Structure 1
Amino acid sequence: MLPSSTPAPPRYVDGAPWAEAASSAALRHYRSLPKKGKPQGRESTVLAAFLLSTPHDPRNPTVLSMATGTKCLGAARLSPRGDLVHDAHAEVIARRALLRHIYSEIGRDTPPEWLVASGDGGRWRLRDGHSLHLYITQLPCGVMPVPPSVSMSTREQLVSTNGCSDVDLVQRKPGRGDTTLSMSCFDKITRWSIAGIQGALLSHILEPLYLSTITFGQSPDGAPQGFSIENNIEKVLDARLSSVHSKLPASFRIRKPQFFEAPIPPKEFQQIAGDEAPLTCG
């Protein structure tokens, strides 16, 4: 049972309008940014954005943070001093930016509009009626691939997650050459569904922040007829979360986001393999 200070988020029954709204808000904000650092020519990248919806205008979300990125360091390149960023995937960098934004909001003289005092030891919480969302231009790494045919069984769809036959195992991000030690983005999303996105340090002054929805751009290649990517991602997440048997600490709970497919993103966010090797933007 949820505490009164953290009401359940609204359920988006009709996902198409919301997916369009989330992707439009993120891409509109991206286009407003300077050209420097964006893909050029044949380059491509992944875009991720955290958004906030309000009860006054739920179909017009505001972008809180945004990032692009596809790279992470291999194990051999990690620094013993801890002064290098290991994981620079878009979802991870966008979350880092969101945490910086939250620190800035809480540190202002004027209280933030979307965070309110919780009355629990001087902590803050998300204001009632407000919801956090994540938009990604493609499926997060670590999610099962789209099946090659509709003849694949449900069990095969469930357990085939980037070659991992056990959904209880933590998956490392795929690396080119040197193996990485970074958790896959989908494993991090799984963790956020239990512990929130705020991290350990912010948990001292902020109640857990959970995502209400995750929207991702459709692949240009599409999916086999009759195959629902949203439903299969939910099945994989359910299987991951089913291994959480122990009682969670106070204020934490399992909060599964809803998944939606948005329209195909612009070409600079499409990871298409062709005659020429795709180039990722640095």
Structure 2
Amino acid sequence: MWSPDEIASICYNHFNKLPKRGKPEAGREWTLLAAVILLTDSSDQKTVHKQVVSLGTGTKCIGQSAMSMKGDVLNDSHAEVIARRGCVRYLTEQLYRAVSGQSSDVFCPGTEKGKWTVKPGVSFLFFTSQTPCGDASIFPMTGSQAQPCEPVKAVQKDESERRGLKRQAESELEETRPGPDMKTSDDNHSSCRKSGDSNQDEGITEIKECNQLNEVSDFQPDVKKVCPPDLHRTGAKCVPDGPADPLKPGLLYHSVGVLRVKPGRGERTLSLSCSDKLSRWGILGIQGALLSHYLQGPICFSAVVVGKGSYSHQAMERALKTRCSHVRGLPSGFSVRAPELLQASLEFTHNHTHTESKHTHSQGRISPCGAAISWSAVSQQPLDVTANGYKQGVTKKALGTLQARSLISKVELFHSFLKLVAATEDSHLPETLCGKDLRTYWDYKQAAGTYQQAWTQLRLQAFPLWPRSPRELLLFH
């Protein structure tokens, strides 16, 4: 019906057809790509129509001090998050069409009052050009792969040695440790996104054997020293108050299966790794709390396809499926839904590896592209390009104004949702929106009772350390 390479090709071609604005400079800048694809079975179910409905690029996040109480700044601009937010924009328009009596490509009436469900034969899959940052990126290196992050040479004996292994900005961050539930983030979506395997006992044995061989070689010059196996690293740091990375040599550098936040050269953020977010979407759905008012059940990805690059099926299984597989007691409509995990053999030509191969000395240092592109299959203003959380190109004077807002910022998606509510006849309004004094973004999110029950169960059973966003950042309207 479809292949991973076909999905990758569709996404890359779609990106190539977009305007130049926001794209990386060839040979000097790199970025990552993610997309949501709508799959629609033909009437005879022998063919599948494939359509990109949301596409995103980006590698950066903003620090805590840049977060806005107006909901008008993008906190997390990693490609996976941009693509998902663009999909929410698409789904909101599709629901608007449905409640307005127009044709929708996605929704048909559900069995409950004011509720809608995805049409038979319709499903969504997710594509990302590189393994998601965080837990899915932790797995052993193979062959002669180069370590994108500096490997650890010895077990750290004290905290000062541990800090010595980090970049200067990160070591300063460890010393100050601002905020109880926050981590730094920046251009961490590089090739450092890749790391470790769940079988740590095997890793310990391998390291012991290598150490024994090296001890012998100290006395027998003819015996060749061997290096212990190493991990693909992830720049995402363990959440505070939870298990920490051992930072030991080789396969024992990282802990696995833990929540991580996106770090970088600055202050901490609340942005969880893309591995963690994809795992959460596997149960709560990609639609979010607001749209769940209108839906009879969550919308989950049927498959996740990763582009060519370092990849471990085991690590993807662990990060996206195993961590939540034991969750029980979910409310009606919610369940543990494990997506199919696949890898394509086609590489994104703007990733770090490909950019490095095309780089020339005269171009200066290779760097991540500062812009993030969002494209959605919507009728008005499908393209949205941002930098540092705001529309690209806005002046400092315009920051905080309507003109500076991204179309996928919280406040803009909230206003689109309010237009959906206003377009819904009172007799067809979902029960959760009837007879309640709801004003703020927070109010509407909390009123989605079934969604919040599912999130509570997921947090209690799988992610008890998931950082909570400060309420004051969600009280806009």
* TM bracket, shorter-chain basis: 0.7 to 0.9
Matches of 2:355 and 2:48 in 1, distance apart? 34
Aligned equivalent of 1:51, options 34, 37, 40? 37
User: Which secondary structure state, in structure 2, belongs to the residue aligned with residue 31 of structure 1?
Assistant: helix
Unaligned segments of structure 1, at least 5 residues: 1-11, 224-228
Report the CA distance between 1:242 and its aligned residue.
3.9
Query: Which residue of 35, 38, 41 corresponds with 2:20?
Result: 35
Sequence identity (%)? 35
Q: 1:88 is matched with which residue?
A: 77
- The DSSP-based 3-state class of the residue aligned with 2:260 is coil
Shift of 1:77: 2.7
Amino acid at match of 2:87: L
Provide closer, same or farther for how the CA distance between residues 131 and 81 of structure 1 changes in structure 2, counting only shifts above 3 A. Answer: closer
Q: How does 1:127-146 map to 2 (within 5 A)?
A: 127-142=119-134, 143-146=136-139
Q: Quote the Cα distance in structure 2 between the aligned partners of 1:54 and 1:202.
A: 21
Alpha-carbon distance, 1:200 to partner? 0.5
Query: Do 1:144 and 1:158's aligned partners in 2 also have CA atoms closer than 8 Å?
Result: no
CA distance in 2, matches of 1:237, 1:199: 18
Deviation at 1:149, TM superposition (A): 3.9
* Cα offset, 1:272, TM superposition: 6.4
Matched-pair contact (CA < 8 Å) for 2:29–2:369: yes
Partner of 2:415: none
Q: How does 1:1-282 map to 2 (within 5 A)?
A: 18-41=3-26, 42-56=28-42, 58-108=47-97, 109-142=101-134, 143-149=136-142, 154-156=198-200, 162=234, 163=245, 165-167=255-257, 169-206=258-295, 207-219=297-309, 222=310, 229-242=312-325, 244=327, 246-271=328-353, 277-282=365-370
Equivalent-residue separation in structure 2 for 1:269 and 1:119 (angstroms)? 45
Go from structure 1 to structure 2 and tell me whether the alpha carbon gap of 1:136 and 1:83 turns closer, same or farther (over 3 Å shift): same
Q: Secondary structure at the match of 1:268?
A: coil
Larger Rg, first or second structure (1 or 2): 2
Query: What is the alpha-carbon distance in structure 2 between the residues aligned to residue 253 and residue 177 of structure 1?
Result: 38
Cα distance, 1:114 vs. partner? 2.4
> d(CA) in 1 for partners of 2:201 and 2:292?
35
Within 2, Cα distance between the matches of 1:157 and 1:124? 48
Tell me the distance in 2 between the aligned counterparts of 1:131 and 1:45.
27
Task: Report the alpha carbon displacement of residue 110 of structure 1 after superposing the two structures with TM.
Answer: 1.4
Q: What corresponds to 2:469 in structure 1?
A: none
Instruction: Give the match's secondary structure for 1:99.
Output: helix
Distance 2:326 2:260 in 1: 15
Tell me if structure 2 keeps the 8 A contact 1:78–1:84.
yes
> By how many angstroms is 1:273 displaced?
8.9
SS in 2 for 1:190: helix
> Once the two structures are superposed, what CA deviation does each residue of 1:66-86 show, in whole Å capped at 9, x if it has no partner?
111111012233234443211
The answer to whether the 8 A contact 2:55-2:86 is kept is yes
More helix by share: 2
TM-score normalised by the chain length of structure 2: 0.49
- Shift of the 124–239 alpha-carbon distance from structure 1 to 2, 3 Å rule, reads same
Report if the CA contact (8 A) 2:34-2:83 is conserved.
Answer: yes
Distance of 1:166 and 1:231 partners within structure 2: 12
Residue in 1 that maps onto 2:467: none
- Does the CA contact (< 8 Å) of 1:117 and 1:124 recur in 2? yes
Structure 2 Cα separation of the partners of residues 53 and 135 of structure 1:
13
Deviates more, 1:269-278 or 1:37-46: 269-278
Q: Which amino acid aligns with 1:249?
A: P
Determine helix, strand or coil for the equivalent of 2:299.
coil
- Whichever residue aligns with residue 303 of structure 2, its letter is T
One-letter amino acid of the counterpart of residue 240, structure 1: R
Contact 2:261 2:272 in 1 (8 A): yes
Q: Indicate how the Cα distance of structure 1 residues 158 and 46 shifts in structure 2: closer, same or farther if over 3 A, else same.
A: farther
Number of paired residues?
A: 257
**Bigger mean CA deviation after superposition, 255-264 or 157-166:** 157-166
Q: Secondary structure at the match of 1:188?
A: helix
Q: Secondary structure at the match of 1:64?
A: strand
Judged with a 3 Å threshold, the aligned counterparts in structure 2 of structure 1 residues 67 and 155 are, in CA distance, closer, same or farther, namely same
Q: Given residue 38 of structure 1, which amino acid in structure 2 is its aligned partner?
A: K
